[in-house]
């Protein structure tokens, strides 16, 4: 059974800092991995999708990497802004399941 964890649970940084969010999964037989953003009172928004054959994906100031062998993914946010404050969740889709298993999320606060 796939289990997904995220460290840290919460993070507070000053504006302008570069930061890394971590995601770990127990079963390396994954189909893909997706990073989502969740704002209070709102649903999830997809940020980046990494297929199992890829090592990383980039979108603007965001870069996500995937290391299947070690069961890890990282989300790198460059030059953080207060608008980046949200909860970031990673979700893993396994080869044997159609749907995602979500991690608990990292709550990020970027202070002006």
Partner 1 sequence: EAGVAQSPRYKIIEKRQSVAFWCNPISGHATLYWYQQILGQGPKLLIQFQNNGVVDDSQLPKDRFSAERLKGVDSTLKIQPAKLEDSAVYLCASSPLAGAPDTQYFGPGTRLTVL
Contacting positions for partner 1 (CB under 8 A): 4, 9, 32, 34, 41-46, 49, 89, 91, 93, 98-105
Identify which of residues 90 and 110 has a Cβ nearer to partner 1 in the complex. Answer: 90
Query: SS3 for the chain, per residue?
Result: CCCEEEECCEEEEECCCCEEEEEEECCCCEEEEEEEEECCCCCEEEEEEEECCCCEEEECCEEEEEECCCCEEEEEECCCCHHHCEEEEEEEEECCCCCEEECCCEEEEEEC
Identify which of residues 77 and 105 has a Cβ nearer to partner 1 in the complex. Answer: 105
Minimal distance in Å, beta carbon 98 to partner 1?
Answer: 6
Minimal distance in Å, beta carbon 34 to partner 1?
Answer: 7
Minimal distance in Å, beta carbon 24 to partner 1?
Answer: 13
Identify which of residues 43 and 83 has a Cβ nearer to partner 1 in the complex. Answer: 43
Minimal distance in Å, beta carbon 15 to partner 1?
Answer: 26
Identify which of residues 41 and 83 has a Cβ nearer to partner 1 in the complex. Answer: 41
């Amino acid at each position: 059974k796939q289990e997904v964890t995220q460290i840290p649970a919460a993070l507070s940084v000053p504006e302008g800092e570069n930061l890394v969010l971590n995601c770990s999964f127990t079963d390396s037989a994954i189909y893909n991995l997706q990073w989502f953003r969740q704002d209070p009172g709102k649903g999830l928004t997809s940020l980046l999708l990494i297929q199992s054959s890829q090592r990383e994906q980039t979108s603007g100031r965001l870069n996500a990497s995937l290391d299947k062998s070690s069961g890890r993914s990282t989300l790198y946010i460059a030059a953080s802004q207060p608008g980046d404050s949200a909860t970031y969740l990673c979700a893993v889709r396994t080869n044997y399941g159609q749907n995602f298993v979500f991690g608990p999320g990292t709550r990020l606060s970027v202070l002006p």
